[in-house]
Amino acid sequence: MDSIIAVAKTSLKNKSQLPFSIYSSRKEQMITNVPVIKPLLIFILSGIKKLGKNEPVECQSGSFVFLSNNAQIDMRNIPIQEEYFAVLIDFDHEDFFELPKSQGPYKKYFQGEINPILAKALYQYIEFSTIAPLQVMRLRKRELLDIIYLCGYHDVCNIIEPPNLSEKVLSMISNDISCEWPVDLIASNLFMSPSTLRRKLKSEGNSIQDIRNRARLGYGLHLLQTTQFHIGNIAEQCAFQSQSRFSEQFKLLFGMTPREIRKTKLRD
């Protein structure tokens, strides 16, 4: 795993826009209600990741977990020795179209081992990303799905299902955090009236304001994990009027403040 970590860190220095994310920490992170907007493949290269209420899913270093799109999930990132280090790749629905069709049940997640074939494929994917345009990397990303399938993890065909209305709204807002997203605009994009939109979201236990807030805070969490931006700057990018309001809402949703997240990434 060390060689993959090294090439991933090098890629961050050489290119600002990459088709994957790196989450790392030097102290334990316990984060609740994390929105998974798209199917998400997480390679744990160092440390341990625990998922779900009461942490029923444990992912050791040298393994991966593939999560379906999910409104919220609890995560615990635990460093071993020096750090927790993971590579995250999200996928669009169309990325799965060329996989074999499966009659099996839908899976919220599945786990697997980063075997030598998958490790080599991941290394090459990261290395190639520093020189290839993003359009090419979309094809390489789909190759990863094929490799996972050919390695015997056929559950990859069952990891995606059509999103419900709340997830559609969450994805829409997340694609353009800078937009205010009034109710009329969201409803128009979904070809329904504002009243129908509100009623259907209520039946799913959601409201537009709650989803809007979760999308903005989710983006804030991503920026805290992947950049060195000042917290005040992140609050502004997430459309919050003040850093204090952002921090308050962040703590309510995720169980940690932005400052606490940042402290987990610093050396003692």
Q: Domain ranges in the chain?
A: 2-158, 165-264
Q: Which residues pair with 63 in a beta bridge?
A: 44, 113
Q: Give the pLDDT of residue 81.
A: 82
Which CA distances in Å does 187 have to 25, 167, 196, 197, 207?
39, 14, 8, 6, 13
C-beta of residue 85 within 8 angstroms of C-beta of residue 52: no
Q: What is the DSSP letter of 264?
A: H
How confident is the prediction along the chain (268 residues), in pLDDT tens digits per residue?
A: 889 999 998 988 876 688 999 999 999 999 999 999 899 999 999 999 999 887 689 999 999 999 998 768 999 999 988 899 999 999 988 899 889 887 778 889 999 999 999 999 999 999 999 888 878 888 999 999 999 999 999 999 999 878 889 989 999 999 899 888 999 999 999 999 999 999 999 999 999 999 999 999 999 999 999 999 999 999 999 999 899 999 999 999 999 999 999 999 876 5
C-beta of residue 126 within 8 angstroms of C-beta of residue 87: yes
The fold of 2-158 is Jelly Rolls (2.60.120)
Q: Give the pLDDT of residue 23.
A: 95
pTM: 0.91
Half-sphere exposure of residue 169, counting CA atoms within 13 Å on the CB side?
31
Q: Give the pLDDT of residue 64.
A: 97
Look at the alpha carbons of 45, 34, 240, 232 in this order and tell me if their dihedral is positive or negative.
negative
C-beta of residue 28 within 8 angstroms of C-beta of residue 77: yes
Q: Give the pLDDT of residue 1.
A: 87
Q: Which residues pair with 76 in a beta bridge?
A: 30, 50
- Where b means 16+ CB within 10 Å and e means fewer, 148-181 reads bbebebebbbbbbeebebbbebbbbbbeebeeeb
Q: Give the pLDDT of residue 249.
A: 96
End-to-end CA distance of the chain: give it in Å, rounded: 24
What value, to the nearest 5°, has the Cα angle with vertex 40 and ends 37 and 45? 140
Q: Give the pLDDT of residue 267.
A: 66
Q: How many CB atoms lie within 10 A of CB 52?
A: 14
Q: Give the pLDDT of residue 201.
A: 94
Quote the longest CA-to-CA distance of the chain: 54
C-beta of residue 250 within 8 angstroms of C-beta of residue 257: yes
> Domain 165-264 - what CATH class?
mainly alpha
d(CA 172, CA 166): 10
Taking CB atoms within 8 Å and a gap of at least 24, the contacts of 95-101 are: 95/138, 95/141, 95/142, 95/145, 96/39, 96/145, 96/156, 96/157, 96/159, 96/160, 98/142, 98/146, 99/145, 99/146, 99/149, 99/156, 99/157, 100/149, 100/154, 100/157, 101/157
